[in-house]
Amino acid sequence: MKHVSTWLEPIPKPILWRDRAKSLWSRPEVEKARRRAEARREPFSPITQIHGRCSRSQSKEVLGWVLVVLVLFPPSAGAAPPRGSRPNIVFLFADDQCTYSVGCYGNRDVKTPQMDKLGYDGLIFERHYNTTAICMASRANVMTGMYEYQTGCNFTHGDMRPDVWARAYPVLLRQAGYFTAFAGKFGFVVDGKGLCEGDFDMWGGGPGQTRYQTKANTSMAKYAEKYPHSTLSYGAFGQEAIKNAVKQQKPFCLSISFKAPHRPTTPDPRFDAVYAGKTFAKPGNYGRDHAEHLSQQSKQGRQYPRFIEWEYDKHYDEVMATYHQQVYGIDVAVGMIREELERQGVADNTVVIYTSDNGFICGSHGYGSKVLPMEESSRVPLMIYDPRSHSAGKHLRCRALTGNIDFAPTLLALAGLEAPDNMDGKSLVPLLENPDQDIRDHMAFINVWGPIAATSLTALTRQWKYTYWWYRGEGMEPVEALFNIEKDPLELKNLAADREHLIALEVMRRKYDRELAAWKERAVPYNDYQRYGILFDRSIAWDKKQPLCTKPMGQRIIK
Ligand SMILES: [Ca+2]
């Protein structure tokens, strides 16, 4: 395979001797000394710190190169502007990207060198979920730190209210002095404000699904000549935003929401060679043979027919090649952004987060698409690199249960701000220091989109996943699903009827009830979030639920 840079416009590189000096600075003994000094909260001087830890010749070599760099690049020319202890934040967000599209999550068939590097530089999260696995609702979760029943925002339910947006992370960070930039699919509108362009210092966002053709995205059109496909145009936007923020000497929060790999499949043709003719290993739960133990309710939505409609059954390799090719484009854009952080001298003070708004089912259990609670749909990649943290560079993985509601509190914590009381999520910053701990016992996964029979609430813990499929009718009866995700991540065995797991079942029922109680207590009184407090209740009889099922769900255009 060709190296990534062969497909890209040449990016200016530092000249060779500067690279050499940088490589000396990154030697393990120098890095170790730097970390020791950091732990003691002392300024780091490589000249004094490495003395006695490297050989005399190594020390002289380092000193020589340091002097050369200092003469030709005096600190005022390329150094990061003073910004106290507040880091910059880069939040990178894919659309419909599952964990098995990323190499560092174990798929050897895919090429994601930049995503892998980000994960290995930082921390890879193994149990990260979107609390709702569909575009609009998930984006509202991320921005506000709240479950869907508090954002009041999803397709078929309604737009976001201005008072909810007023406590979203971009607003709060800008109020705190951050330079804020956004590009890509905003994903929702705020009543009376639309896309909220005026709440950002730099804007490359667009309405609806946005377009794969860069020139069709009005706010991004200036990048179209060089990057006609939108994915790399977002890399270029990110580079410009970083340069602008550095010029203004402000800490910055750059949020980019890529359109890829959302269907309709439209990969950048410059990457056509990456997966041409490739055969992909199918997941261990691929196909309808692995669907018999899943509820009939979960088969009422469009996910079940899409296994065939989207040809996972007959043309798996071709479908996956274009899917992974779109992810490859994002990977290149991630590299463009990280290179710019280095060029501007701010990489050491910038936290980079990479994740997706929902996962994607590509033939697992004979389904396609998203929305449902199954792992391929609800669980997504999450890599966070905070170069100042103890987990950085140690190739660590975190198994704590985390969710998309955690981003807003995390970004605020990074900026030294307290999360408002309305937020349901928790800061992930403690995990960056100690990935072995937990930040919560359980969390909810929500689906109130699609046919009402397929709606459901799920309780998650680090080990277990419990879903109550409440709907009765058309030959269906309410049914429970219990999966041991730690031992059975492919969800091949529903343990709800297994006598050996009665205790686990009962424990998860209680956690489910607690999540539902929170729903009833906190759900907004508008946009149709109240009735699910009754429909999802395990103790309420069907005859009380049935009248609530006749109410139609909204008529919005669904994507
Ligand atoms: Ca999505």
For residue 294, pLDDT beyond 80 = yes
What's residue 252's pLDDT? 98
Read off the tokens for 34.
């730097």
Q: If you count them, how many residues does the chain have?
A: 559
| Whether residue 240 is found in the same domain as residue 383 | yes
Residue 470 lies in a domain: yes
Which helix (DSSP H) or strand (DSSP E) does residue 351 occupy?
strand 350-356
Task: Give yes or no for a contact between 480 and 505, defined as CB atoms under 8 angstroms apart.
Answer: yes
Q: Give the Å distance between the CA of 95 and the centre of ligand 1.
A: 4
Q: Give the Å distance between the CA of 207 and the centre of ligand 1.
A: 14
Closest C-alpha to 112, from 127, 129, 124: 124
Task: Give yes or no for a contact between 356 and 381, defined as CB atoms under 8 angstroms apart.
Answer: yes
| Whether residue 482 is found in the same domain as residue 408 | no
Read off the tokens for 190.
């705020």
SS3 label, residue 556: coil
Q: Give the Å distance between the CA of 187 and the centre of ligand 1.
A: 9
Query: No. of H helices and E strands in the chain?
Result: 19, 14
| Whether residue 52 is found in the same domain as residue 98 | no
| Whether residue 68 is found in the same domain as residue 93 | no
Residue 559 lies in a domain: no
Q: Give the Å distance between the CA of 58 and the centre of ligand 1.
A: 51
Q: Which residues contact 239 (CB under 8 A, 6 or more apart)?
A: 336, 337, 340
Q: Which residue has the tokens 């098995």?
A: 100
DSSP 453-480: GG-EEEEE-SSEEEEEE---BTTB--EE
Percent of the chain scoring above 90 in pLDDT:
83
| Whether residue 180 is found in the same domain as residue 306 | yes
| Residue 431 to residue 298: CA distance in whole angstroms | 34
Residue 495 lies in a domain: yes
What's residue 85's pLDDT? 72
State pLDDT tens for residues 138-190. 999 999 999 999 999 999 999 999 999 999 999 999 999 999 999 999 999 99
For residue 348, pLDDT beyond 60 = yes
Instruction: Write down which residue in 389, 409, 439 finishes a domain.
Output: 439
Q: Give the Å distance between the CA of 358 and the centre of ligand 1.
A: 5
Q: Give the Å distance between the CA of 12 and the centre of ligand 1.
A: 34
Q: Which residue has the tokens 């914590």?
A: 413
| Whether residue 152 is found in the same domain as residue 172 | yes
In degrees, to the nearest 5, what angle opens at C-alpha 116 toward C-alphas 111 and 122?
Answer: 175
Residue 557 lies in a domain: no
State pLDDT tens for residues 54-88. 344 554 554 455 444 444 444 433 344 444 579 99
Q: Which range has the worst mean pLDDT, 51-55, 86-90, 521-525?
A: 51-55
Task: Tell me the pLDDT of the chain averaged across its residues.
Answer: 88
DSSP 231-264: HHHHHHHHHHHHHHHHHTT--EEEEEE--TTPSS
Residues with Cβ–ion distance below 5 A, ligand 1: 95-96, 135, 357-358
| Residue 48 to residue 364: CA distance in whole angstroms | 57
| Whether residue 286 is found in the same domain as residue 376 | yes
| Residue 109 to residue 93: CA distance in whole angstroms | 22
CATH number at residue 304: 3.40.720.10
| Whether residue 218 is found in the same domain as residue 100 | yes
| Whether residue 175 is found in the same domain as residue 161 | yes
Residue 379 lies in a domain: yes
Q: Give the Å distance between the CA of 381 and the centre of ligand 1.
A: 13
Domain count, the chain: 3
State pLDDT tens for residues 425-471. 999 999 999 999 999 999 999 999 999 999 999 999 999 999 999 99
pLDDT band, residue 550 (cuts 50/70/90): confident
Which helix (DSSP H) or strand (DSSP E) does residue 61 occupy?
helix 56-72
Which helix (DSSP H) or strand (DSSP E) does residue 94 occupy?
strand 88-94
| Whether residue 30 is found in the same domain as residue 142 | no
Instruction: Write down which residue in 439, 454, 469 finishes a domain.
Output: 439
Longest CA–CA separation in the chain, Å: 84
State pLDDT tens for residues 318-334. 999 999 999 999 999 99
CATH number at residue 509: 3.30.1120.10
Residue 554 lies in a domain: no
Residue 555 lies in a domain: no
Q: Give the Å distance between the CA of 143 and the centre of ligand 1.
A: 15
Instruction: Write down which residue in 72, 100, 118 finishes a domain.
Output: 72
pLDDT band, residue 551 (cuts 50/70/90): confident
Task: Give yes or no for a contact between 5 and 13, defined as CB atoms under 8 angstroms apart.
Answer: no
Q: Give the Å distance between the CA of 130 and the centre of ligand 1.
A: 10
Task: Give yes or no for a contact between 318 and 363, defined as CB atoms under 8 angstroms apart.
Answer: no
Q: Give the Å distance between the CA of 262 and the centre of ligand 1.
A: 7
| Whether residue 148 is found in the same domain as residue 243 | yes
Domain range for 422: 88-439
Please give the model's pTM, rounded to 2 decimal places: 0.85
Neighbours of 245 (CB within 10 A): 25
Task: Give yes or no for a contact between 255 and 181, defined as CB atoms under 8 angstroms apart.
Answer: yes
Residue 272 lies in a domain: yes
| Whether residue 225 is found in the same domain as residue 314 | yes
